[in-house]
Structure 1
Amino acid sequence: MATRYRFGLEAYERLFRGVKNVELLEGEVYEMSPIGPRHAWKVARLVRAFLEALGDQAVVWPQNPIRIPPHSEPQPDLALLKPRDYGEALPTPEDVLLLVEVADSSLDHDQERKLPIYAQAGIPEVWILDLEQNLLHAFRHPKEGVYTERRTFLPGEEAEPLAFPGVRIAWD
């Protein structure tokens, strides 16, 4: 018989510190898919676009963990955080302005597993960039654990983060 273990944040951080390509979602440890060149290039382009558009208005946090108590520590591809020093503690949902997941082979996982965690945590906006279909899905306004607004952007359309009205980001 197999035994299933659930981890809290402290145990996960102690036991998996230094282990690459894993994240904690609702107490379960998941191995993340390797990042391919197209995925890495999209993340790099988004980082540059956000840095150029926002400067010091937000911390651009690429491929780093977000602490979501009590049982999750996902590593989105990119996050925009409220400007402050995160050197002593990982950001929490209250710090997050926008999360971005780039989905090459992980679209189902991002939408079905991670998106509900983000909505339940009250993260105001999540973008999922679907590399297979070349579409950007924006999920906004979480309420009672679900996002109440979903918008799909087509290639050539720029997206505007809710936290930064008037700032347009080319994502494709």
Structure 2
Amino acid sequence: MVRPYRFSLEEFLKLPLPERGVELLEGEIYQMAPIGSRHAFVVERWDEVLRKALGERARVRVQGPFVIPPGTYVEPDLLVYRQGDYRERHPTPQDAFLVVEVSDTTLEYDLTKKVPAYAKGGVPEVWVQDLQGSRLLVFRTPEEDHYREQIWVKPGERLAPLAFPEVLLEVPW
């Protein structure tokens, strides 16, 4: 019987892989889709909106490392996380307030692979912006491999992250 090799997080981090373009989800390596212009534009807009609204209350990381022990290394489009010194480690779910994924061609992957991994890790809130469906999918309250609360937000509507209920954001389109 042929079985795929499952990588540990430590093995993955030692592999001679390109700077970007791959993620480790529960021991399996996935090639990330190239970033299109629409996707890049929306990620930049989210970055501007989040940094302006949150100021010094949180850090915002754009397409950077995020580790969910024991076997997941991803690069979410945006990670909103606690202030602190991350020179010696990557942020983990205990540091995270919110993960934002922008999906143009990767909606199925984000919903079936990444969102369950975020839930298993205990990330309190995940937003998946579906560019093709013109909607924001909001996932809150992780429970095992899923989220108990799911909200669909339409273009032009506003919402606040759970960690910052006083910060009302308009979803960039």
Q: Please tell me the TM-score bracket, short chain as reference.
A: over 0.9
Contact 1:122/1:145, CA 8 A, preserved across alignment: no
CA offset at residue 56 of structure 1? 0.8
Distance 2:164 2:139 in 1: 15
1:35 aligns to 2:35 (yes or no): yes
Distance 1:61 1:19 in 2: 16
Tell me which protein shows more strand as a share of its residues.
Answer: 2
1:78 aligns to 2:73 (yes or no): no
Q: CA RMSD in A?
A: 1.3
CA offset at residue 137 of structure 1? 0.6
Contact 1:125/1:141, CA 8 A, preserved across alignment: yes
Unaligned runs of 5+ residues in structure 2 are: none
CA offset at residue 145 of structure 1? 2.8
TM-score by length of 2: 0.95
Report SS of the residue matched to 2:79: strand
CA offset at residue 144 of structure 1? 2.8
Aligned residue in 2 for 1:47: 47
* Match runs of 1:4-153 below 5 Å: 4-16=4-16, 18-153=18-153
- Percent identity of paired positions between Structure 1 and Structure 2: 45
Deviations along 1:49-93, one digit per CA (max 9) or x if unpaired, are: 011001110010110111111111011100100111212210111
CA offset at residue 165 of structure 1? 0.7
CA offset at residue 17 of structure 1? 5.0
What is the one-letter code of the residue matched to 2:22? V
Distance 1:110 1:47 in 2: 19
CA offset at residue 133 of structure 1? 1.0
Residues matched between the structures, number = 172
**1:70 to 1:110, Cα distance in 2 relative to 1, 3 A:** same
TM-score by length of 1: 0.96
* Match runs of 1:149-164 below 5 Å: 149-164=149-164
Distance 1:43 1:54 in 2: 16
Distance 1:44 1:85 in 2: 24
Distance 1:94 1:17 in 2: 27
Aligned residue in 2 for 1:165: 165
Report SS of the residue matched to 2:168: coil
What is the one-letter code of the residue matched to 1:120? K
Report SS of the residue matched to 1:51: helix
Unaligned runs of 5+ residues in structure 1 are: none
